[in-house]
Amino acid sequence: MLLSRALKYNVRIKPRLYRFTFVSLMELIFLGSVWTWQFNWFTGQEWIQLLLTLCVLLHWFQSYRHQLHHAVSVTLSEDGRWVFAPQTKLASSAIKHGHKHSHYSGLPRGEPLRLSRYSKATSWLLWIHIKYNKKQHWFWVFRDEVSDHDYRRLCLAIRYCQHHNVT
């Protein structure tokens, strides 16, 4: 019960434009590098380039669909305790549409996690480092994925963890 009183804020993280733009740019850079290979460097090169292009386009389309259907809710305290809400209706919908894996899929639901001092905050991106049961998990939260108020709360929690040397 003490934990539930200390966890104060509910934050909803929903993938949006910044994440989709970043992923799209990385995929374009990869495609550009694939198509700048030296001509006829090896046998069947064009087929491999086409196959890689098809895979990247498929991944891009899946990430776009994933963006439409996936959101995650987090309960957060000012001292860096972090609990992912149990699977929500929206997350169930995402799994139904084939999105079993997300940026947060490896994290336990309903269990208290801890932000570490290695988390970083910038004006447009939070680099979150979570530790639990001697495991660690990194993920990004872009500024447009949460409300301005929640972004400030997350920044304050990261700052608290850095200042108090939370591991």
**51 and 101 belong to one structural domain:** no
- Please state whether the predicted TM-score (pTM) of the whole model is above 0.85: no
**63 and 73 belong to one structural domain:** no
- What the block records as the tokens of 37 is 């290979």
Q: Has residue 88 been placed in a domain?
A: yes
**13 and 79 belong to one structural domain:** yes
Query: Torsions phi, psi of 111, nearest 5?
Result: -105, 145
Q: Has residue 43 been placed in a domain?
A: yes
Range of the domain at 76: 2-18+69-163
What would the pLDDT profile of 16-67 be if each residue is shown by its tens digit?
777 778 888 888 898 888 888 877 778 888 898 899 999 988 988 887 776 6
**154 and 128 belong to one structural domain:** yes
- The model's confidence at residue 73, banded by pLDDT at 50, 70 and 90, is confident
CA dihedral defined by 9, 133, 135, 96, rounded to 10 degrees?
A: -60
Query: Torsions phi, psi of 127, nearest 5?
Result: -105, 100
**34 and 94 belong to one structural domain:** no
Do residues 81 and 2 lie in contact, with contact meaning Cβ atoms separated by under 8 Å?
Answer: no
CB atoms within 10 A of CB 38: 7
Total tally of structural domains belonging to the chain: 2
**118 and 134 belong to one structural domain:** yes
Separation between Cα atoms, residue 29 and residue 140, nearest integer Å:
20
What would the pLDDT profile of 103-155 be if each residue is shown by its tens digit?
555 666 667 788 888 999 999 899 988 888 788 888 889 898 899 999 998 99
Q: Has residue 23 been placed in a domain?
A: no
